[in-house]
Chains A and B, each alone.
Chain A
Amino acid sequence: MSLQQSTSQTFGPYFHIGLKPIAVRLPAGAKPVVITGRVLDGDGKPVSDAAIETWQADLAGAYPVQPADGSCPATSTLAGLGRAPTDAEGRFRIDTYLPGRVAAPGGAHSAILQAPHILVAIGMRGLLKHLVTRIYFPGEASNADDPVLKLVPADRRDTLIARAEGGELHWDVVLQGAGETVFFDC
């Protein structure tokens, strides 16, 4: 049996009514990291109605596993899930942590590990389906060998790596034009 997948539709400008901010839960012993940035459109104007959704591994590079028996647990495990809306100036802020390294494509059989990263979905008015991108961390030696970064043209890789600025990390989302952020077909 094969069913046709439902068509994606825009988050629209009023998603805030249904999609509330989600604070990332820091695992015990995690190093807190603040990531701030702006979302900018093709005219360089701030996008004030975007939702930034983030998903990241724990300190060991592991993710929660859905119950194998299909049961519903009493308590949710949202783990490294976050959601932050942009403000009137297009700014967002993610209070999070440096995740561990996740196995590369090939799964548990792969000896290669990915560099620490955050998977990001971005929805807004004017996007009929959400954008997918990643945030990598500056100064990580493993960035050089990351199998996903290697798929990205070398001159655009820096759009995925946050910049260290005054104790925080900065990462802008440029939707179009010079410095356009790399988005993935996922």
Chain B
Amino acid sequence: MIEVYRRPMQGTQPEYRFPPYGSTAKRAPTRPLVMLPHTLSETTGPVFGHDSVKASEFDLTAGHADLPLGKRIVVSGRVLDDGGKPVRHTLVEIWQANSAGRYRHPNDGPHSPLDPNFTGCGRAMTDAEGRYRFISIEPGAYPWRNHYNAWRPKHIHFSLWGEAFTQRLVTQMYFPGDPLLPFDPIFNCVTDTKARDRLVSSLDWETTIPESAIGYRFDIVLRGRHATPVDR
């Protein structure tokens, strides 16, 4: 027996070529993909220990001379596999624009100002139940050049490793009720509305801190394992 990872479910993952997102045109492969059987190379991954994040890295509002501008938020949730099993002690990395919609990156700007008190990078480990938690500020929407008058809805980029290279996932978290969501080709890259809805966080009173920060809940589901008999 070798443990392999379930294929992505129908409708949950985008195609490489997606004409509404213009820059896929010159970057999406044009030849058919070759099916790769899962060997140890695909079913293993780095082991993340307590030393992989500093305790302060979950708080994107800390570490500067003053607090960043913008509405403070708590972003938390669980990382599960598709069998409902928590993905324990795995690294979650996030990056985001500041409250004006500007990234601290040399290629961004000058559409809106930098915030000297915001870098926009956070890291955390999930606990034994797969839970993670960040404190940040609500990012701003920002313009891009995909089409005339294109604006990205507010979002936070998420990177996860899971336990195996095959579980690697980079995704984005959106905010409930954002009026830009219906117009964003990246959010709308899959037709399944349930899959899209999973990318939208929900307002969470349980984690909201009175007079301080609004809570948003964002759960993430990675591919899960199943054991498959192997012909010998």
Q: Give the interface of A toward B (CB within 8 A).
A: 1-19, 41-43, 45, 47, 49, 53, 55-57, 63-67, 70-79, 81, 102-107, 109, 114, 117, 119, 121, 123-132, 147-148, 151-152, 156, 175-177, 180-186
Contact = CB atoms under 8 A, between A and B. Distances in A.
B212 interface: no
B23 A126 contact: yes
Contacts of A18: 93-95, 120-122, 157, 159
Contacts of B108: 13-14
Contacts of A13: 105, 107-108
A42 B25 contact: yes
B232 to A, nearest CB: 6
Contact of B2 (A4, A8, A105): A105
B51 A74 contact: yes
Given A9-B199, A74-B51, A127-B16, A114 B41 contact: yes
Given A3-B81, A15-B170, A183-B33, 11 more contacts: A7-B199, A10-B170, A18-B122, A41-B27, A127-B28, A128-B14, A128-B16, A148-B36, A156-B31, A184-B33, A185-B36
Contacts, number: 265
B44 A128 contact: no
B26 A176 contact: yes
Q: List 7 A-B pairs, minimum CB-CB distance, nearest first.
A: A18-B95, A126-B23, A63-B44, A184-B36, A126-B27, A128-B14, A42-B26
B125 A72 contact: yes
Main secondary structure of the interface of A (DSSP, over half): loop
B149 interface: no
A165 to B, nearest CB: 25
Main secondary structure of the interface of B (DSSP, over half): loop
Nearest to A22: B46
Nearest to B48: A76
Contacts of B29: 131, 175-176, 180-181, 183
Nearest to B108: A14
B65 interface: no
Contact of A6 (B15, B31, B93, B169): B169
Using C-beta atoms within 8 Å of the partner chain, give the interface range for chain B.
35 or more
A74 B53 CA distance: 11
A5 B189 contact: no
B40 A103 contact: yes
B232 A70 contact: no
Nearest to A44: B26
A36 to B, nearest CB: 21
